[in-house]
Chain A
Amino acid sequence: MSRTVLICDDAIFMRTMVGDILSQAGFEIVGEAETGVQAVEQYKALRPDLVTMDIVMPEMGGIDAVREITQHDPAARILMCSAMGQQALVVEAIQAGAKDFVVKPFQPSRVLEAVNRVLAA
């Protein structure tokens, strides 16, 4: 059975890209969220094996979404998607419970490495 993924990003472009990388590697994209609020709702509904989380999103940011999700499910596996220069925010997300991070622009190999690390932990 393939692993399920929830992709959270406000840009369709990034969602498509991450989705392509992961589905080509055999993951099943079970949901997409454009805001932090949607991310939390969908996580509760879908219980995916993995969440990819953008940091800056409308309504509720990625870090707050991480906090809410891990409060609900401490074992949640969340991979942060960050841009260069967001070092402090990524650290905050990790302290909030995210398990790993990748930096844009995405290299498929790096994304998959990080995903595998998160799933192996």
Chain B
Amino acid sequence: MDTSRYAALFFTESREHLAAMDTALLAIEQDRQVAHVDTLFRGMHTIKGMAAAMAFEAVEQVAHALEARCDPLRRGEVPLTDYEIAALFDGVDRLRATVDDAANGQTALTPTAAVPSSPPSPTNRRVVEIRLVADCPLPGVRAVLVLARVRSLLTVRSTQPPEATWAEEKFDGAFAITVEGDAEERVIVESVRGAGDVARVEVVDARDREAAPTQVARTVRIDASRLDALLDLAGELVITRDRLVRALEAADGPPDRQVQRATRETARLISALHTEVLEARMLPVREVFDRFPRLVRDTARELGKEVMLSTEGQEIALDRSLLDAIGEPLLHLLRNALDHGMELPDDRERVGKPRSGQLVLRAARDRASVVIQVQDDGRGIDRDAVRTRAAAQGLIPDSMTTLSDEALLNVLAHPGFSMATHVSTLSGRGVGVDVVNTRVRALGGHLELETLAGAGTVFTLRLPVTLAIARAVIVRVGTSLYAIPAAQVVEVVDAEQRDLSPGRDAMQRETVTVRDHLMPLVDLAVLFDEEILPATVADGGQYLAVVESAGRRAALLVDGLVAQQDIVVKGLDPVRGGSHWFSGATILGDGTPALIVDVHRVV
């Protein structure tokens, strides 16, 4: 029978099951309920059946092995230990890998696809892998202490490298102890950590390690700080590359063909290296999103509210450093939504909403950025209350009778703004938003807000996919250099051009018209309080950089164009004031510092 026309269906459905199995695994890890094992078991069983029908031998066998492993767990014959759970995670990953292989036309069983189908052997041989912290004094001695602790729990069979070599200078604090015995993984890990100066400890099945030669090549665990260091180095290389290229261009005499070719090749390799390192740092947002379901449930319960949290786009990948940094802002936004946005169940019922509120945590790719949203279907932010309060605090003119979403966000994010004197549903609303806004800007992103009375609120974090490097246009304003993110520069025109039709808009701001677009003219020298040098004006070197953010344009008047190049973005310390117009800073190739213009703010 020709099964090929069912293939697409098989893959779609298998992947759905795999996703459900992932969820079940996480649930198992959290509450250890055997009921989730049933879900897991059903998924495997279905996939096994479908794979058999498709003659996907590898998928079928792996699913079968997993099923065999699951069965005693499901019946309660084998307890759900850390070891078993880790094996299930591992097994589901392998099942996914074989399904992917099958999608790529590889359907026969390969050695790496095999799953240990039997429960751990009676001797239960495992390997305890340990890495000591980098600055550990006398690592060889610390390792001896670790070994002594492991010995108190298990029978030690061997160590790698051999214990006798631990005293040697080349011992770097990474070692593995092969053991036999029944001690629970958690107990082993705790005991080893108790020896002090342990950076990482892992207990793995010895058979996984014996089959190591092929596996080691596939994944190697790397300390996160090492990856950071690698990225820093790659970033510096990128900048040095630009410097080299410029130095060669500026050199006197005809360029040497050989040198040119080698330079070009080096430049290409450095770019490739940088991309590779950046990608190695990407992690799915799941890593952060997974922290919240429990927290939302607990907070909601505390507040007497009923809330369903759903997450979308968990697989979207972000740079690890960004991922680490967004946890807290998201926490603020979720807490805000629960505390201030969501109504009590009775109140919701009264206005005709379901008793249980919907909270959505969503990630999506949007061209060069990643968008993360926190959406609630609560009461929305009370614009009038915020407006009245903001006017009273002098943050907006009294004449402003309505607040747009953007103006509302600006008020809420204002560090001094507070609704605290009103003991109202909005009390404290300002504080969290201020913190979130500052954080997000420090990451080179920005925050957006949409709110509708009675219907709910959406906060949107727009973040760059990778934090570290960005293409920028370097401009001179007065005597200082500034970087404008190239992605936001539409074009650059000569400021002396005749057809700019300067004018003023309704708010008396200066405007220009570039290619039929009327836009405000922003003199960066005035904005940034730079000294206006007559000499630069005499140069006639002034330019307009037309920038765009969130659909709005502006023309930035600058005194000179320096270069377009890659820059390493460093966050600004939000505590050091005066950074209102800037999202970060960078060090240029020649060592000059430059501030990175926050186009969103300026526009």
Contact = CB atoms under 8 A, between A and B. Distances in A.
B230 interface: no
A117 B194 contact: yes
Interface string A79-121: 0001010011011001100001111000000100110010011
Interface in B453-510: none
A43 B280 CA distance: 55
Contacts of A113: 196
Central interface residue in A82, A95, A114, A121, by most chain B CB within 10 Å:
A121
Contact of A94 (B137, B144, B167, B196): B144
Central interface residue in A101, A110, A113, by most chain B CB within 10 Å:
A101
A110 B196 CA distance: 10
Looking at chain A's contact residues, is the secondary structure mostly helix, strand, loop, or mixed? helix
A94 B138 contact: no
A120 to B, nearest CB: 7
B278 to A, nearest CB: 35
B341 interface: no
A90 B141 CA distance: 7
B148 interface: yes
A90 B144 CA distance: 10
Contacts of A87: 138, 140-141, 167
Interface size class for chain A?
A: 10 to 19
Nearest to B152: A121
Central interface residue in B138, B144, B194, by most chain A CB within 10 Å:
B138
B142 to A, nearest CB: 8
Given A94-B141, A94-B144, A103-B137, A88 B196 contact: no
Contacts, number: 35
B167 A121 contact: no
Interface string B118-130: 0000000000000
B194 A91 contact: no
A101 B194 contact: no
Contacts of B194: 117, 120-121
B145 interface: yes
Nearest to B140: A87
A103 B141 CA distance: 11
B148 A117 contact: no
A110 B373 CA distance: 43
A103 B135 CA distance: 12
A113 to B, nearest CB: 6
Interface in B178-197: 194-196
Interface in B139-161: 140-141, 144-145, 148
A102 B145 CA distance: 12
Nearest to A116: B196
Given A91-B167, A120-B194, A82 B138 contact: yes
B153 to A, nearest CB: 13
Contacts of A114: 196
Interface in A4-29: none
Contacts of A90: 138, 141
B137 A117 contact: no
B262 to A, nearest CB: 45
B252 to A, nearest CB: 54
Contacts of A100: 145, 196
A91 B144 contact: yes
Nearest to A98: B145
A94 B196 CA distance: 14
A84 B136 CA distance: 12
B140 A94 contact: no
A110 B133 CA distance: 13
Nearest to A114: B196
Contacts of B144: 91, 94-95
Contacts of A94: 141, 144-145, 148
B377 to A, nearest CB: 49
A103 B196 CA distance: 13
A91 B140 contact: yes
Contact of B141 (A91, A117, A120): A91
A91 B196 CA distance: 15
A111 B144 CA distance: 19
B89 to A, nearest CB: 31
Nearest to B163: A91
A108 to B, nearest CB: 15
A97 B144 CA distance: 12
Contacts of A82: 138
A101 B138 contact: yes
Interface string A40-77: 00000000000000000000000000000000000000
Contacts of B137: 84, 102-103, 110
B564 to A, nearest CB: 47
Nearest to A85: B138
A95 to B, nearest CB: 8
A95 B196 CA distance: 17
Nearest to B138: A87
Interface of B: 137-138, 140-141, 144-145, 148, 167, 194-196
6 contacts: A82-B138, A91-B141, A102-B137, A103-B138, A110-B137, A117-B196
Q: What 3 A-B pairs have minimum CB-CB distances, sorted nearest first?
A: A103-B137, A90-B141, A117-B196
